[in-house]
Amino acid sequence: ARASALAEAAGPGATKDGHRVPLLANIGGPKDVEAALANGAEGVGLYRTEFLFLDRATPPSDAEQEEAYRKVLEAFPDGRVVVRTLDAGADKPLAFLPPPGEEPNPALGERGLRMVLRHPGVLSAQLRALARASAGTTAKLQVMAPMVTDAADAAFFARECGENGIETPGVMIEVPAAALRARDLASEVAFFSIGTNDLTQYACAADRQIGGLAHLQDPWQPAVLDLVAPAAAAGVPCGVCGEAAGDPALACVLVGLGVTSLSMSAPSLPPVRAALARHTLDQCRDAAAAARTGRTAMQARNNAREHLPGLD
């Protein structure tokens, strides 16, 4: 019993019947690697690179970027490291990349990939720094774009990656249009990662920065689960890297929907690992189906939990 308790607390992520679900960490830079390793992260599922660019008037030098990326890659010699290209704008304003004009609704404005479409040199410099950092390291580097809307966006990003030495391009699924047409995007890129924070914000039309709308910013909203399902079924590996992945019950539901990896803040890794280890893949699937029959977020959660008896 002690051995199985230990295996539950560390080791790779898997359901009770051995279906593997890599458990990865969300990080903002090399300073977060220690906590990720201490909590048993198998790699990095979301490296938010904008932290490198915050609070400064000019972008970091190519050498500075390369060093920050290499440090993280070297920390996971046998794992994968999923790096998100610059996600500037809206809730992540960057001094050196202001939006082109006054934006009444910044969350619907020029942010993420939309911002670098206007400044392609920023994206290519970042991709080249990543390619140089990865040379000579053994971690599997994957690079994804934020705020991708359609297949044209995905094709643009994949082309930029190819031209700048990045072999595995992916996109975040955080715009409902991208989730609904996930198959179109899947033919352009190698993987997806669902950003449930923004996907929930846009599905429920509830600004994530407005605390009074918290009840609508709930990834248990059945509409959000309905958007995860087509992305997870589109034929490319599909992770989740929003806060939803760190909720033990919801993590089981996401796996039941077909999500192939989960990335979260380091302290969430042990409870999610334990929740998965206590349920079979079939239980996760039953929980997912039951959640989607709910008509409110609360019903979805309650329905799911009836199929997840191992949760506290």
Question: Could you list the residues that contact Mg ion (CB under 5 A)?
Answer: 174, 195, 198
Amino acid at 99: P
Residue 217 token pair:
């910013």
Residue 247 token pair:
């909720």
Does 265 sit near ligand PEP (CB under 6 A)? no
- The span from the CA of 212 to the CA of 240, in Å, is 25
Give which of 87, 79, 198 is closest to 145, Cα–Cα: 87
The helix-helix angle for 297-305 and 281-293 (nearest 10°) equals: 150
Question: Which CB, 188 or 243, lies closer to Mg ion?
Answer: 243
Q: How far is the CB of 50 from ligand PEP (least distance, A)?
A: 8
Question: Residue written as tokens 């955080």?
Answer: 174
Candidates 36, 46, 158, 234; binder of ligand PEP (CB under 6 A) is 46
59 contact, one of Mg ion, ligand PEP, none, CB 5-8 Å limit per kind: none
Does 49 sit near ligand PEP (CB under 6 A)? no
Site for ligand PEP in 174-193 (CB under 6 A): 174
CB 218 within 8 A of CB 297: yes
Residue 280 buriedness (CB in 10 A; 0-12 / 13-18 / 19+): middle
Candidates 195, 230, 246, 294; binder of ligand PEP (CB under 6 A) is 195
Does 241 sit near ligand PEP (CB under 6 A)? yes
Site for ligand PEP in 51-110 (CB under 6 A): 87
Question: Which CB, 60 or 242, lies closer to ligand PEP?
Answer: 242
Positions that interact with ligand PEP (CB under 6 A): 46, 48, 87, 174, 195-198, 241-242
